[in-house]
Chain A
Amino acid sequence: MAINWYKYASPASFYTLAGKMVPFFAIIAIGLLIAGLYIGFFVAPSDFQQGEAYRIIFIHVPAAWMSMFLYVVMAFWAGIGLAFNTRLSSMMATAIAPTGALFTFLALWTGSLWGKPMWGTWWVWDARLTSELILLFLYIGFMSLQAAIDDPRRADKAGAIIALVGVINIPIIYFSVQWWNTLHQGASVSVTQAPTMAATMLTGMMVMVFASWMYSIAVILKRVRVIILERESHTTWVAELREKGAL
């Protein structure tokens, strides 16, 4: 049976679909989170070089991956919204931004917590740290631009342009920062870990990565539902929901 995907481009039908999907993803996220943290803290052995401090990777690595991945997804939806003028795509982009910024912040924060015992400093101007910081600036720029515009459709389109300009610039910024760093012969530390990782460590990390995925999907769908209600509050289908007492 073919599914009519276009049906779900309508905020009204997507609202119901997302409502069904949120608990599903939320439960998986919680399950994976418990499993991942259990493996991370109780099963995985301590590292012979880094001791217990390496355990930060169970949060740090998923957060860093999600922060970059979510920016691309956000730019993708924003671009779709700009090209096809679909309202729901732009709402998705708006819903993704806070979660992406949260993960970026988490990656920076946990990274500096790890850096203190390992490198003896909270912050080094390493290429990866610097580009992650710039990524945070890009998220904040996107969100503050959308927040400054009162008309939601204009906010969608303006946000889409800055997200697309940002996504083109990310590789340029990344390589500039990397080259800048090598030129300056920065602090003689390396973020790269020992290449071999115990199997349980890898399992724990991957479980946490999936937990972050599921968490992001659940939270973003929840947030997009709120945005749909806010923007569609004048429509009849929302009024009907209100009458039925579903809100």
Chain B
Amino acid sequence: MIEARGLARTFTGKHGRVEAVRGVDLSVAPGEIVGFLGPNGAGKTTTLRMLTTLLAPTAGTATVAGRDLRADPGGVRRRIGYVAQGGGTDPSVPAGEELDLQARLYGVDGRAQRIAELCARLELEGLWDRPCGALSGGQRRRLDIALGLVHRPPLLFLDEPTTGLDPQSRGNLWEHIRSMRAGDGTTVFLTTHYLDEADALCDRLLIIDRGRIVAAGTPAELKRRVAGDVVTLQLADPSGAARAREALSRHRSVRKAVAAGGAVRLTVEDGERQLMSLVRTLDAAGVELASLNLARPSLDDVFLTVTGRSLRDAA
């Protein structure tokens, strides 16, 4: 659905040249929900604006929804939907009028029916005459998405879709994005700087930092590959900690073992599968276990490992 090679954008301004995006390669398959994760200023929005024909790349090529980005931007536009970070509605214009205009601009057949269908699906019924400025944050976001979907695009771009929404509206929006893919097979490419969003919503993630993609994979793959799981073993008898650490550090799946207080903290590859074996090792060493905890690494850990900075600090 998207194939980009060496996509780059350099801005030349008063303060010299800024390489916002420095050679991005990416592939997105039909039907995927792909998340573009990175701190503010990493180049997410610039990449998105290039892929949606809003910004000409200074280098590189891309095929978007089957059309060449440089040779046929009009073809790309007809096949994609784009929802900008701040939305794109006029506060004084009634919601229905925005939808109607959008459908007319795309030349949608059966306009009224399509709009009614979208309003039903995105819980926008009864808001036709309401000025966009009078809608709630969640409603406006759903309207933005309806505007992006009015022409049934096979590919939808969402720039920071849930920024500024309350937790309930966020969850609700995730549901809508998932159901879009389930119902129409819509491919979704979204940017986010929320780890939980990337984790909960995306099939695959691309991590971008300082204009380059630094890691790619499913959320689970990324976490497994980069960080490993953290297993904390609380011992019944604190004095056995040193012995336990000694025994466990020889286990083949353990990368790192630290004894602290009455507990041993392990960094383990594929921790879930290794739990049983770790307990047996402990048993063989004659150490009694009080409790056991397995923590999956967060995407923040991934980001930290890949870039050397925490996503929270970077943002």
- Chains A and B form a bound pair: no
Interface residues of A (CB under 8 A from B): none
Q: Contact residues of B with A, CB < 8 Å?
A: none
